[in-house]
Structure 1
Amino acid sequence: MKTIFLILALIVILFLIGKLIKHKSLYPFMPFKYDFRKRRDTFSKTMEIMKELNAHTIVETGTSREGLKGAKSNGAATIVFGKWAKENMAFVHSVDINEESIKSAQKEVNRQNLQDFVKIHLSDSLEFLEGFDRDVDLLYLDSYDYSGDIEIQRKSQQHHLEEFKRIEHKLHENSIVLIDDCNLPNGGKGKLVIAYMLERGWKILMEEYQTLLVRNHIIFDKIS
């Protein structure tokens, strides 16, 4: 009986250790309980670069409709970058066409006391980006949902490429671009836009579930 108990206890301990190893938090920036899993490292690197470059303006397409509850599933980028903006005197513009997503995201922004550093816009992202009137330090692309449907994949990839083209003239030498959901079948959301950027001199700094690109070759050589 004692042997069985010890075996069960060992199984439980190993299970908990496995969970802990897989758990990837942004602590101490975010409470340890939030698991950012496949986005943790690219988020960390993006914020590191923004800090070094003294970034001020962050633009996100596709707002975080689940708030921090969605840290593991969708990354909760609106809150992550909103908190970074609050700590670094920057500002986040997040745009989404879905009214319910906007309402949910705004509730979390208010709950986290980030409303002075985050503005959520209800708009078609292409129209919003085309009319954006200031330089962008970080562009985060994560709008048109991706799926297993080939036609949806094609439309999502084309949409993200069009988003980049609409705001491209507001990206400067030190701008950085982070694209979500890239490590998915058929190239993910970033397939077309990444190819377009590489043709224009951008460099991939990190290529994981998300892809992080920079334009300034000095930054690339220093950080890569």
Structure 2
Amino acid sequence: MVFKILTIVLLLPPAIHFTLKFIKHKSLYPFMPFKYNFRRRRITFAKTLKLLDERHVKMIIETGTSREGLKNTKGDGAATFVFGKWAQQNNAKMHSVDINEDSVKGAQNEINKQNLNDTITVHLSDSLEFLKTFENTVDFLYLDSYDYSKTDVDIQIKSQEHHLKEFKLIENKLHDNSIVLIDDCGLPGGGKGKTVVEYMLKKDWKVLIDAYQILLVKK
């Protein structure tokens, strides 16, 4: 049966192949050029951008920077540059922190290329240490650090615990209109957000969207 379906697909006219590819292409056009495919993050990114506008966000923190710049929007989302571009257009500031030197270098190269140096500051640091000393109010928090594993349960638990620690360290800098977006949640074992979302739901937060990423705001 699988062979027959594959054969049928391969025999489809080129125009239909193009249509199928087009349907899978999830862009944020016109905000981002159409060539960038955000795939499973498109829904949550689009809603988050709308909330950033509505709530007049001025301070953004991201844990885990976009190490490949804009090269892999379909794979990693390139959130540093999606939200960094929004920040530039709306007179906001963004801080992105990552413990990996190569990741920071990769992000900084794209920041230079996109002329975002006045908007995005990327920090080489343990995110927990960075958040512990961050003094400003945070309007939008994007959690995407500590790489997750689909198969290693020990890494899954450590990643989940790390994201909870991050949230607790910055929690007192959030306010009633703050927005929180957590990446890589739709994965085996509950993804990066499992533990922190459970905690947040007990602390007067609610889930707006649960679609690979989880988007939360205060009730």
TM-score relative to the length of structure 2: 0.94
Aligned length: 210
Q: Is 1:174–2:177 an aligned residue pair?
A: yes
Q: 2:119 aligned with 1:117, yes or no?
A: yes
Q: CA deviation at 1:11?
A: 2.6
Rounded to whole Å, the distance in 2 between the matches of 1:109 and 1:179 is 22
2:46 counterpart of 1:44: yes
Distance in structure 2 (CA, Å) of the matches to 1:8 and 1:73: 25
Deviations 1:78-136 (A, max 9, x none): 01011000111001100000001000100001101111000000000001001100000
Tell me what 1:88 maps to: 90
State the one-letter code of the partner of 2:43.
Answer: D
Q: 1:158 and 2:161 equivalent?
A: yes
Deviations 1:131-153 (A, max 9, x none): 10000000000000001211000
Report the counterpart of residue 214 of structure 1 in structure 2: 217
- Corresponding position of 1:149: 152
Query: Post-superposition, which runs of at least 4 consecutive aligned residues in structure 1 deviate over 6 A?
Result: none
SS at the partner of 1:207? strand
Query: Tell me, what secondary structure is at the counterpart of 1:19?
Result: helix
Please tell me the residue identity of whatever aligns with 2:180: V
| Distance of aligned partners of 1:57 and 1:17 in 2 relative to their CA distance in 1, 3 Å threshold | same
Residue 66 of structure 2: aligned partner? 64
Letter in 2 for 1:200: K
Q: Gapped runs of 5+ residues in structure 1? A: 1-6, 218-224
- Cα deviation for residue 41 of structure 1 reads 1.1
How far, CA to CA, are the matches of 1:88 and 1:47 in structure 2?
A: 11
Cα distance in 2 for partners of 1:157, 1:25 equals 29
Give me the TM-score of the superposition, normalised by structure 1.
0.92
Residues 1:9 and 1:192: Cα distance change in structure 2 (over 3 Å): closer
The partner residue of 2:18 within 12, 16, 29 is 16
Q: Percent identity?
A: 63
- Counterpart AA for 2:193: G
The CA distance in 1 between the partners of 2:28 and 2:115, in whole Å, is 19
Ranges in structure 2 where 5+ consecutive residues have no aligned partner:
1-8
Write the letter of the residue equivalent to 1:188. G
Deviation at 1:14, TM superposition (A): 1.4
Displacement of 1:192 in angstroms is: 0.1
Q: 1:14 to 1:99 in 2, by over 3 A?
A: same
Alpha-carbon distance in 1 for matches of 2:152, 2:12: 43
Corresponding residue number in structure 1 for 2:36: 34
2:107 corresponds to 1:100: no
CA RMSD of aligned residues (A): 1.2
Structure 2 match to 1:131:
133
